[in-house]
Amino acid sequence: MRRNVEPKVIPLPANRALYCCAIGTFVVASFLSLGPKATAQNPALGRSSRSVSQQSNNDARQIFESTCAACHGLDGRGGERGPNISTRPQVVQLSDRELGEILRTGRPAAGMPPFAALGNNSLKALLSYIRFLQGKDAATVLPGDASNGKALFFGKARCADCHMIQGRGGFLGSDLSDYGGALSAREIRRPIVAPAESANANKRMTTVRLRDSQQIAGVIRNEDNFSIQLQMLDGTFRFLSRADIAAVESSPEPIMPTNYGTLLTAPELDDLVKYLRTAARSEQKQRDDEWSEEE
């Protein structure tokens, strides 16, 4: 016979800081005392994640509901006391490392307490469940061949001319070691075939000609009325005084190639996306192993 369990009612302190402390204390106590089936499944979250076992998914959901739902909602889409962490781009695009650090250390200035006391295993489960709510199932089977994608990245596609992965590659573009782990396959592919829509669409190669006729090519990182900071192809920086500059010329084309949609076939794009996802998962596993050793 099923027993009706009366839900615990936590009074809301008038002071927000006291409320956050109460939530933090309640989270740890709840996690240590509740069994894996103590929280009934919310119909809105009735899907099962393929990234973890059903039992692990239940545990992760329970941690989320005890830890985060009071402020962010059961579906992660926000509430009166916390922002949307399910579909808000600023959160979705965070790397696993960045999001994990927020969970670990909190954001006290914004009213979010740290949850390091949950332990590494619970923090990993919580991170996985947040990714699940964001639609980023870690085990989603993608088309393509990661080894072919790696060959494309460092070869035909010339991605490594600007971007680095796991210590290999260029310096002008962003480091893509974590990139594929925080985005869906569609979100990875879109900036490749439609770079004009990406955040770096206005980043262009610039040539600075000095008064002594020397020419220096790179990407402008900072500039003001007196100087220009230029990052060159080898990753080094040059600080150039405007008094020494004769001319500054920027390429009309963005530094990100615009012809990948025709340069690469559809299967090759699948391979490249698969490699970016696989590399990010490998990076995440390495960090998980490091966390386990620290624990």
3-state secondary structure 160-187: HHCCEECCEECCCCCECCCHHHCCCHHH
DSSP SS3 for 79: coil
Q: CA geometry: angle at 113 spanning 108 and 119, to 5°?
A: 135
* pLDDT for residue 79: 81
| Confidence label for 58 from pLDDT (cuts 50, 70 and 90) | confident
Kindly state the average pLDDT of the residues 64-73. Answer: 88
CA separation for the pair 110, 128 (Å, rounded)? 23
- Orientation of helix 120-133 relative to helix 266-294, angle to 10°: 150
pLDDT at 291 over 90: no
Which residues are within 8 A (CB) of 42 and not within 5 positions of it... i.e. 6 or more apart?
Answer: 65, 74
- Looking at residue 241, its pLDDT comes to 94
Vertex 273, ends 268 and 276: CA angle to 5°? 130
Which pLDDT belongs to residue 32?
Answer: 32
Backbone angles phi, psi at 116, to 5 degrees: -60, -30
238-251 average pLDDT score? 93
- % of the chain residues with pLDDT over 90: 24
pLDDT band at 249 (very low <50, low <70, confident <90, very high): very high
Q: What single-letter amino acid sits at 76?
A: G
Average pLDDT estimate for 190-201: 75
Q: pTM score > 0.75 for this model?
A: no
Domains within the chain, CATH numbers bracketed: 16-133 (1.10.760.10), 146-199+257-294 (1.10.760.10), 206-250 (2.30.30.100)
Between 173 and 24, the more confident residue is: 173
| CB-count exposure of residue 127 (10 Å: 0-12, 13-18, 19+) | buried
